[in-house]
Amino acid sequence: MKKLLTIRQVAEITKLSVHTLRYYEQIGLLSSIGRDKNGYRCYSSEDITWIEFLTRLKATGMSINKMIEIAELRRQGDSTLNARRVLMEEHYQEVQEQIADLQKNLDLLAHKIVIYKEMETIYELGQKKKCEE
Amino acid sequence: MKKLLTIRQVAEITKLSVHTLRYYEQIGLLSSIGRDKNGYRCYSSEDITWIEFLTRLKATGMSINKMIEIAELRRQGDSTLNARRVLMEEHYQEVQEQIADLQKNLDLLAHKIVIYKEMETIYELGQKKKCEE
DNA sequence: CCTTGACTTAGAGTTAACTCAAAAGTTTAT
DNA sequence: ATAAACTTTTGAGTTAACTCTAAGTCAAGG
């Protein structure tokens, strides 16, 4: 016995807007979302799981186009499991590199902050001198 | 004796396009770029240093608007050194948190990759069985 | 002298990823 | 039963950060 959810409930659970949920479906990120007798969307718990997976991909900077690619492979069934895993592993590597770059640039900025502090001290000394004059 | 550079040379050094250099100047990221007798831009080594600093801010995900804010403080001189340092420290903290989040999400994806591998094995066993039938 | 190519400007066009609006049908609360 | 709050669709609008185009000026090479 599956319990189905309305678009609003899914929006609350996933923290996406109802707009975005419809948009994701339209561009092919979500497929075969069920409908009730009036054509209202009914989301299953598998749909939620999939949306949460997408959210994680997004949180690691994957583009919508890349996600659509994976969604299309998924639609083709289990024979694409290997292809999907390869894409995921590539993405994993890319993000690891991104994190390393980010940390490197951040360390350089930390050094800049030190320089700011030095310059501040010099500036303050100059101001103090002015006061004394 | 300063040596001045053309926009094209600066584009090569900084890896920004000439378009982008003009755009950055237009929106207030770069100020007081010198001009020669024909109105051609002449960049100084301090300009290059500043552009490279901006590039580092960008590499750590700072928005153009935030960078403009810092550029405007810089234009106001040394009295804004403290304000600028505070902004930088805030940015530093934010990026550290971003990196932590990114790593957390990436670890969750790594787990998903393991699951893919398990599913692949099951699928392959299924296929093998079909062959044997 | 003429063409090639770097430079100038103002302003239009692009891309990603939403985000909203309008018009109409449906469900719920009173 | 009727108003408020949901849902639907199509298609237009938004934002950031570029990116390009057109129309023009200027200097150097053949």
* Option in B59, B91, B113 nearest A85 (CB): B113
| A45 in contact with B, Cβ within 8 Å | no
Question: For residue B47, what are the β-bridge partners?
Answer: none
CA distance A110 to chain B (A): 7
Among candidate residues A75, A97, A118, the one where a domain is terminated:
A75
Nucleotides on chain D that have an atom closer than 7 A to a protein CB are 6-10, 16-21, 25-27
Maximum alpha-carbon separation in chain B: 85
Using alpha carbons, select from B55, B60, B116 the residue that is nearest to residue A92: B116
Task: Report if residue B132 sits inside a domain.
Answer: no
Query: Are residues A115 and A89 part of one domain?
Result: yes
Structural domain count, chain A = 2
DSSP symbol at A79:
G
Residues A71 and A111 in one domain: no
**Residue B119: inside a domain, yes or no?**
no
Residue A28, Cβ density class (10 Å: 0-12 exposed, 13-18 middle, ≥19 buried)? middle
Q: Which B-chain residues 113-132 have CB contacts (< 8 A) with chain A?
A: 113, 116-117, 119-120, 123
Query: Are residue A111 and residue A58 in the same domain, yes or no?
Result: no
* A54 and A89 co-located in one domain: no
Contact, A109 vs B60, CB < 8 A?
Answer: yes
Query: Please, which pLDDT band fits residue A131 given cuts at 50, 70 and 90?
Result: confident
- Amino acid identity of residue A113, one-letter, is I
User: Both tokens of residue A95?
Assistant: 């993000």
Q: Is the pLDDT of residue A3 over 80?
A: no
* DSSP helix, strand, coil percent of chain B (3-state; round to 5): 75, 5, 20
Q: Provide the number of CB pairs (under 8 Å) joining chain A to chain B.
A: 91
- Statement to judge: residues A97 and A32 lie in one domain: no
Average pLDDT over residues A82-100: 96
Q: Please tell me the predicted confidence (pLDDT) of residue B133.
A: 63
Instruction: Report chain A's mean pLDDT, rounded to a whole number.
Output: 93
On whether any CB of chain B is under 8 Å from the CB of A93, the answer is: no
Q: Which domain holds residue A59?
A: 1-75
Burial code (b: 16+ CB inside 10 Å, e: under 16) for A47-83 equals beebbebbebbebbebebeebebbbebeeeeeebbbe
Residues A23 and A49 both lie in one domain: yes
Sign of CA dihedral A91, A93, A99, A104: negative
Residues 6+ apart with CB under 8 A from A32: none
| B108/A contact by beta carbon, under 8 A | yes
- Percent of chain A surpassing pLDDT 90: 85
Residues A43 and A100 in one domain: no
**B121 domain-assigned:** no
Residue B123 belongs to some domain of the structure: no
Mean pLDDT over B117-122 rounds to 91
Output the pLDDT for position A1.
42
Please tell me the distance from the alpha carbon of residue A111 to that of residue B85, in angstroms, as a whole number: 11
A109, B92 contact by CB (below 8 A): yes
Q: What is the CATH number for A18?
A: 1.10.1660.10
On whether both A88 and A68 belong to a single domain, the answer is: no
Of the pLDDT bands very low, low, confident and very high (cuts 50, 70, 90), residue B1 is: very low
Q: Answer whether residue B17 is part of any domain.
A: yes
